[in-house]
Amino acid sequence: MPFFLYSVQHHADFSDYVQLNEIGLAGTSGPLCTFAVNGNVERKCPFRWHATERDLLAILGKGDDHSILIDLRPSDKDRVSLYRLCDVWGFSYEEWTPISLRLQSLFVETPQSAPAQFKLRFSDLRREHAYIAEFLYLLGGVCGGKWTWGMTGRVNGALLWKDAFEYLTAELSQLLA
């Protein structure tokens, strides 16, 4: 699940996206660790934090004319699945950090004859895009670690639309109280 930096030009009815490069959000020098460590001035454990796309772009030295997109199906030769990273919430323990991502769906398994080429430069109509959540974790926390991604596989990193997220979190919060 690679993350990419795009330049974005917003127009009245659409936005133009141009892929600049793949970026790493994890790692001890990555924007997620940088944001969490710099924000935890009291060195609390556990430490709750929230970073917006704008916060992460600022750490990367970029502004509002950029976006961070996730390619959820990078090797799919028939469809495009691109999501804009809007927010990241983290709960950093000593050595690991579960995180929740709020993503905006730009293209969800959209048929495309040449997906790799399409992802380099595309226009997106200004329409309502669904927001979804994804849960992941990092192997790093307030006491250290490499801040690398935890293992993801077929059963990890589930995408949750609003209805599923609300149901699951409501049920879990009752059981964990």
- Tell me the per-residue pLDDT of 57-106, one tens digit each, with 9 for 90 and over: 999 999 999 999 999 999 999 999 999 999 999 999 999 888 889 999 99
pLDDT score for 89? 92
Q: Which of 128, 40, 134, 45 is nearest to 87 (CA)?
A: 134
Q: What is the domain range of residue 82? A: 3-176
- Considering the entire predicted model, what is its pTM? 0.88
Given a cut of 60, whether residue 19 has pLDDT beyond it is yes
Count of CA atoms in the C-beta half-sphere (13 A) of 101: 24
| Tally of structural domains, the chain | 1
Cα–Cα distance between 5 and 78 in angstroms, integer?
22
